[in-house]
Chains A and B, each alone.
Chain A
Amino acid sequence: QSVLTQPPSVSGAPGQRVTMSCTGNSSNIGAVYDVHWYQQLPGTAPKLIIYTNNIRPSGVPDRFSGSKSGTSASLAITGLQAEDEADYYCQSYDSSLSASVFGGGTKLTVL
C-alpha cells in the first residue's frame, strides 16, 4: 500500500484533457513538501515531467501541468496524444517516515 494514493487508471480520447490525482496526508503533501511527477513509457526508466508542484523541465510540452492543494496534487494533460499513453507516478517526502515516497502509479490509456 503506497503512502501516496493514485487512481489505478484514467483514459481519454485524443485531443481531450485528462487529470489524475495524488492524495497524501499531513505528513507529506499536506506539509511543506513539494510534489513531483514522472512519466514512464513501457520498458523505459521514469522521466521527470513536473517538479516542485507545477514546474516543467525544459523539453516537456506545456500540455502537461501540475497543481497542489491541501493534502492532494493533480497532473493535467491537455490535447491528449497517443504518445502520452504511459504510467504516471507522483513523488513527495514524508516527514513521519523520513523517506521519499511514491504513489502507486496511474496508467493512462489513450482511447
Chain B
Amino acid sequence: QLRLRESGPRLVKPSETLSLTCIVSGGSISSVSYFWGWIRQPPGKGLEWIGNIYYRGSTYYNPSLKSRITISVDTSKNQISLKLSSVTAADTAVYYCARQRGGVTGMFDFWGQGTLVTVSS
C-alpha cells in the first residue's frame, strides 16, 4: 500500500526558510504515471496547491508562491522536498504531500497525513 509521510521542523521563525521532506513508501517515485505535489491548508481554511514535480525533475509552481518555492526530487531516496523562503505568519498551515495521477490536470489520489508548520518567533 502506498504511503506518504511528511517530515520537517514544526516551528519556523519569520523570514527564514521552511523545509519539508515527503518520503514515499510502497511504490516508486520514478513511475512515469505520476506527479508528486505539495498542498497546504491554513488552520480553519481551505486547500491551496503549492506545486508539483515529476520524477525527472520538471516542476510546476503556484504563481502566487513561485518566487519563494523550490521543489526537488531525490529518486535514490524515493522522496521529494519543499523549500519555502521568507516565511511569514501567513505560511502557517498543515502541509500535505500527495501523488497526482493523470498529469498536471489530474487528481490527487494518495495523500500524506500532513504536518503542521507554525511560523512564529
Contacts and interface: CB of A to CB of B under 8 A. Distances in A.
Interface of A: 2, 33-34, 36, 38, 44-48, 51-52, 57, 89, 91-93, 97-105
Interface string B90-121: 00000010001010111111011110000000
Contacts of A47: 111
A102 B46 contact: yes
A99 B47 contact: no
Contacts of B96: 45-46
Contacts of A102: 39, 46-49
Contacts of A48: 107-109
Nearest to A100: B49
Contacts, number: 63
A104 B108 contact: no
Contacts of B60: 98-99
Contacts of B47: 38, 46, 89, 91, 102, 105
Report, nearest first, the 8 A-B pairs whose CB atoms are least far apart: A93-B105, A36-B107, A51-B107, A100-B49, A45-B111, A102-B47, A105-B46, A104-B46
B58 interface: no
B111 A33 contact: no
B107 A52 contact: yes
A52 B46 contact: no
